[in-house]
Amino acid sequence: MDYDLSALKVLFRKIFPPKKCVYTIDSTNDGKPDSILIRAFNVVAAFEIPKKIELGGFSTNEFDIAKFDLSDYGKMYLDDKRIVIAKNEFDVYSLKDHFTIYINKEKYSIDDVIQGKIGGKTIALGDSINILIQIDEDSIEKFTIGNHKFKLESELIPTLEFEFELTEENLNCKLDSVLD
């Protein structure tokens, strides 16, 4: 049976507006981008983040960073090219330090999420959730001016896919200017 997903596509474009959902960020103020920022806007209704997050076989209550392998949870693609982040290729302890979450301007680490420190936080209608990911120089060069597509395939959630556009306005930005 075929389903009409056009309404979901419209909703995704509202949550991830193509010109305002991905930025390259200069987080060290050295004049060169070293991170990407992915932004999602709450356009549905206010909600509260639960103390523990459970999704499919994933639970923050039983999460062990030493056994974590991102590739067990899904596959990521940029412009239909697979992005591989496997445990055996990275030190997972340093990898977690490369992710920072901003709810509006409030900063949270992966450890904060695992420990439930963002539990109870209300995300109001119109608020944004921003994920800052520090990446290497070769990877940041893939984020060029023009249209791109990001896709996450997972057994935990339906395939997440959104298109975004990078322009001069969202390349090599200062973090504070994007979060304002």
Give 9's pLDDT tier (boundaries 50, 70, 90).
confident
Ranges of each domain in the chain: 6-179
> What confidence tens digit (pLDDT) does each residue in 125-168 have?
999 999 998 888 888 888 999 999 988 787 766 777 889 999 99
pLDDT at 92: 52
> What confidence tens digit (pLDDT) does each residue in 11-58 have?
888 999 999 999 999 988 899 999 999 999 999 999 998 877 665 555
Facing residues of 166 across strands?
146
- Report pTM: 0.79
- Most confident range (mean pLDDT) of 61-65, 74-78, 165-169 is 165-169
Residues 6+ apart with CB under 8 A from 103: 118, 121, 123, 127, 128, 129, 130
